[in-house]
Amino acid sequence: MLWAALVINAVMFAVELAGGLQAGSVSLLADAVDFFGDAANYGISLLVLGMALTWRARAALFKVKGLTMGAFGVFVLDQAAWSVAAGTVPEPVTMGAIGALALLANVAVAAMLYAWREGDANMRSVWLCSRNDAIGNVAVMAAALGVFGTGSAWPDVAVAVVMGVLALTAARAVVQQARTELRLAPKQPAHA
């Protein structure tokens, strides 16, 4: 399932990056970066899947998971500020169509990974990424409708800000759980 999630996220990264650039949408670009980060997260999860809890927790905390989600949140908030300063208005039809496609992809991945939502920090972060992405896609579609109705970039910017805050919140939860698992885990060799 992680391999399928990795492929889906890598493909959607390319689709949303191209669509976000074409539409001038900061929320689509934010979601594209999130798809890239998720693909990297799934790759790391595959690497540490059979390792001891200590190593899975370290991957969740240091390598890509929690800290990368936090960096993504900061990036999205920065892009939203840039969009406000630039005053660009995105193209809503492209935003909505790509948002709907991304929602289908993320709901499929979240459904595949649902059973692991309460697992260790490594697997929990995988599920949180997919859940957050599906929520973000609904928000991008709502922003597209808002941009269409108002002719303003503010709905796009507002969604980007919400996506950034959601990423920071998820990052905090994963980092806290990973730290707890590292503190409680017995010291084990890398492949125990």
Q: What is the pLDDT of residues 129-188, one digit of tens each?
A: 777 788 888 989 999 999 999 999 999 999 888 888 877 887 777 777 777 777 776 665
User: Do 33 and 78 touch, CB atoms closer than 8 A?
Assistant: no
pTM over 0.85: no
CA dihedral 88, 31, 65, 171 (to 10 degrees): 70
Instruction: Count the residues in the chain.
Output: 192
Between CA 109 and CA 4 the distance in angstroms is 8
pLDDT of residue 63: 47
Ranges of each domain in the chain: 2-184
The torsion of the CA quartet 66, 70, 75, 80, rounded to 10 degrees, works out to 130
Q: Which residue in 105, 102, 41 sits closest to 70, CA to CA?
A: 41
SS3 percent helix, strand, coil of the chain, rounded to 5, is 85, 0, 15
* pLDDT for position 89: 92
| Mean pLDDT calculated for residue range 107-136 | 75
Residues 6+ apart with CB under 8 A from 84: 153, 157
Looking at per-residue pLDDT, the higher value among 9 and 69 belongs to: 9
> What pLDDT is recorded for position 184?
78
Q: What is the pLDDT of residue 5?
A: 86
Residue whose tokens read 């200590």: 54
- pLDDT tens for each residue of 51-91: 676 666 666 655 455 667 677 778 878 888 888 898 889 99
In whole angstroms, what is the distance from residue 167 CA to residue 36 CA?
Answer: 14
pLDDT of residue 158: 92
